[in-house]
Amino acid sequence: MTRKQRRLTLIGGSLGVLALAIGLVLYALSGSIVFFNSPTDLAEKKIAPGTAIRLGGIVQPGSVQKGQNLAIRFEVTDGNRSVPVAFTGILPDLFREGQGVVTEGKVDANGLFVATSVLAKHDEKYVPKEVADALKKQGHFIENNEKKK
Amino acid sequence: MIAEFGHYALVLALGLALIQSIVPVLGARLRDDTLMGVAAPAALAQFAFVAASFAALTACYVGSDFSVVNVYENSHSAMPLIYKFTSVWGNHEGSMLLWVLILALFGALVAAFGRNLPSTLKANVLAVQSWIAAAFYLFILVTSNPFLRLPQAPFEGRDLNPILQDFGLAVHPPFLYLGYVGFSISFSFAVAALIEGRIDAAWARWVRPWTLAAWMFLTIGIAMGSYWAYYELGWGGFWFWDPVENASLMPWLAGTALLHSAVVMEKRNALKVWTILLSILAFSLSLIGTFLVRSGVLTSVHTFASDPTRGVFILAILVLFIGGSLALYAWRAPMLKQGGLFAPISREGALVLNNLLLTAACATVFFGTLYPLALEAFNGEKISVGAPFFNMTFGPIFILLILALPLGPLLPWKRADLLGVAQRLIGAAALAIIAIATTFAVTSGGPVLAPFGIGLAVFAMAGALTDLVERLSLFKSPLAISLARARGLPRSAWGTTLAHFGLGVSLLGIVCASTWGSERIVSLKPGATVSISSYDLSFNGIVQRQGANYRELTANFTVRQGGSVIATMEPAKRSFGTRQMTTTEAALLTRGFDQLYLSLGDVEQNGSIAIRLYHKPLVLLIWLGAVVMFIGGGLSLSDRRLRIGAPKPARRPAEKPAMQPAE
């Protein structure tokens, strides 16, 4: 093999791997990313039922109802609108009324958000960034309520 | 007084770092031994001062000195002693102090053990190391000083975040930081080589042990973090593709690539420019990881309360070091003497393929981690890129990598016969096919891909052993001869085998635990029984207990298998009064490599409880594989060749001019 051929093989191989990586990324991007929405976004964007999304906001105080077999209902609000959420399973330790929450799932035909997972973050002072931004947009977020100094 | 002492020591370390940043470089330029000689003692003294500073902060924590803001916010007098030690780095300020402590430690190690380095290289390496150190000392002193006092000392502290009150905090951050920061040495060597404009095989030989050590610690640090998240967060998952996990995975991938390209450089004097680039990238990714975790741009378990000035400061450090080193690279790398080219089918070729795949995998992780940030900055859309994305991109690339893994060590240098090597792997391939067939037969109706995952893992493990078996002539010669050969085999050969084998072991664990694991979420009344896999668990009732600084609600379970009692499991919920937080303490029952995992949900008024129950077959292999890789790295590191170090300078041409443009 000549020097030129060797160099070409090397370049060809690199480009091949690069093309593979880019192809995989583009393919994965088209199908596996999830958009974050606040309850207001959900109403305004008219998201089709069955699309996987993330819904974030504050758990509406007084809205949590526990049913049989670990079924739970609560409402997520951004101060402007609120969306009913249904979830079956065990809630995280930091899930509380009046605290920030991010849920992942799909809206059904009746406007009920059926969550497959509920995330509440790991610090009591902490409001998820997405939630804080969504609340700020609605003018309900008090800046610095988590700052110490 | 102790806090002020610590603060002062840190300021002195900054002063020393500034001297060490400038004087040795000048010395190397002017070829002045006295000026260059400043570097080593300065590095040792710097370490002593940072260690004193760290010890001072530790003393504040152990003595529960709540007049120090940092201690007040992250400690409590009732905390067990071990957590008083570990909470030193269980917060932003303290963890940055640990970061610079390890940075200074590595600098001191180079100063102490780098006696056989050429004096100019050593001076430049220590100077570059000191640039990084100075930047981070300044960062701590300006934005994250752990020694600030409160005007009026409170009586009690606000306690450490309960999630962190665990033994995991004692081991995960120090090991992870040893890995992250360890790559600073390869970075400093790379930048020093660019400054000198000279690089050769001996350079690779000096860099390799440091890279290997950093890689080992990063491997074990990531694995321990994964196990900690697994048992502490109560979801039973071992990897979440969380941005911060990705931040530690990226330097690992780049570091693994660096480890392999440095071999080519040392043995064949090729891939020089690429190795330099990888050294820069590995540490840059560590810095980006630090930025992602510490700036608050991403949110995760690891985010401490954030302050925007810190983010800007770290971003500035990032731009300075990554931008600066890459600019230096762009300017100086073309002047370095290029290494030779080689045949594509050869050990070198295989290592290049390894590098290509590892960097491609690293790039997909990088993209997936930063794309949401970039998208939000551009059009305000908030997206989350999660496991499906990474499984679809990182997964296939890693499969290719593992398929090629057994080939590498079997290929000879320079040129090789691929067919011949493939024939030597027939045994491994046969084992893999048997494994696939057996899995299909035993688990009818499971996911189709999983048996192939098993096959891949078996292929990686058997392939790793193939080389060893051949070199020992095992099963062919009498045992005595094989044993004699085993003693004669260099430790680095054992190291390679073990590290590759470990990857297969981890893969096996991942495939088994995620495919054949079972999960149940149920609500139970006292006296009720629930079954999972071959186990029956009966719920006996709830007990209240008082811990050192928490109250605990423990559910008692009796585990039976085939009617006979084998264990009791006690998952718990702990509530920590000071922070008004509850944590879930999962109960784990280990049977062989399998685990039964039980975590407690809500406790109802009527005494019934919600539980999450998992059976995870072979789950322990995931982390044991990492331990095997760690041991492999250790064996390689203890190899005679690396211990003795580089050939004596006498064997290299005498004094060359520092700059040597390429022909």
Residue of A nearest to B581 (CA): A124
Angle, in degrees to the nearest 10, between helices B387-404 and B347-379:
170
Helix axes B272-295, B92-113, angle to 10 degrees: 150
Task: Tell me the average pLDDT across B19-25.
Answer: 94
When pLDDT is averaged across residues B611-631 and rounded to a whole number, the result is 94
pLDDT above 60 (res A121):
no
Instruction: Give the residue-averaged pLDDT of A82-92.
Output: 88
pLDDT of residue A147: 34
pLDDT class for B442, splitting at 50, 70, 90?
confident
The whole-number average pLDDT for the span B442-451 is 77
For residue B233, pLDDT over 80 is answered with no
- Nearest CA distance, A18 vs chain B (angstrom): 7
Q: Are B42 and B20 in contact (CB under 8 A)?
A: yes
Residue pair B326/B187 in contact (Cβ under 8 Å)? The answer is no
Question: Which ranges in chain A belong to alpha helices (H)?
Answer: 3-31, 39-45, 129-137
B254 versus B291: which is more confidently predicted?
B254
Is A71 touching B (CB cutoff 8 A)?
no
Contacting residues of A for B234, CB less than 8 Å apart:
93
pLDDT band at B654 (very low <50, low <70, confident <90, very high): very low
Collect all residues with Cβ–Cβ distance below 8 Å to B652 and sequence separation of at least 6. Answer: B200, B202
> Which among B341, B356, B580 has the least Cβ separation from residue A7?
B341
Distance from CA of B582 to the nearest CA of A (A): 6
Distances (CA, A) of B383 to A62, A76, B374, B375, B621: 29, 19, 10, 8, 33
Contact B299 A121 (CB under 8 A): yes
Segment B89-96 mean pLDDT:
90
What confidence tens digit (pLDDT) does each residue in B130-147 have? Answer: 999 999 999 999 988 999
Cβ pair A123:B305 closer than 8 A: yes
Quick check: B389 and A28 CB within 8 A? yes
The chain-wide mean pLDDT, for chain B, equals 88
The token duo for B72 is 């007040």
Q: Which has the closest alpha carbon to A35: B28, B556, B372?
A: B372
Report the C-alpha gap between B460 and B466 in whole angstroms: 10
Q: Which pLDDT belongs to residue B51?
A: 97
CA distance B48 to B108: 9
Top-confidence residue, B656 or B164? B164
Q: Where are the alpha helices (DSSP H) in B319-413?
A: 324-332, 347-379, 387-404, 407-410
A22 touches chain B (CB under 8 A): no
C-alpha triplet B596, B601, B607: angle, nearest 5° = 110
Shortest distance between the Cα of B587 and any Cα of chain A, in A, equals 16
ipTM > 0.95, yes or no: no
pLDDT at B609 over 80: yes
The confidence score (pLDDT) of residue B464 equals 92
Those of residues 129-148 in A touching chain B at CB distance below 8 A are 129-130, 133, 146-148
Backbone phi, then psi, for B602, in 5-degree steps? -70, 145
Facing A13 at nearest CB: one of B342, B343, B356? B356
The CA distance from B660 to the nearest CA of chain A, in Å, is: 24
* Confidence check: pLDDT of B123 > 60: yes
The end-to-end CA distance of chain A, in Å, is: 68
C-beta of residue B90 within 8 angstroms of C-beta of residue B164: yes
What is the rounded radius of gyration, in angstroms, for the C-alpha atoms of chain B?
A: 27
Instruction: Check pLDDT > 50 for residue A144.
Output: no
CB contact under 8 A, B344 and A34: no
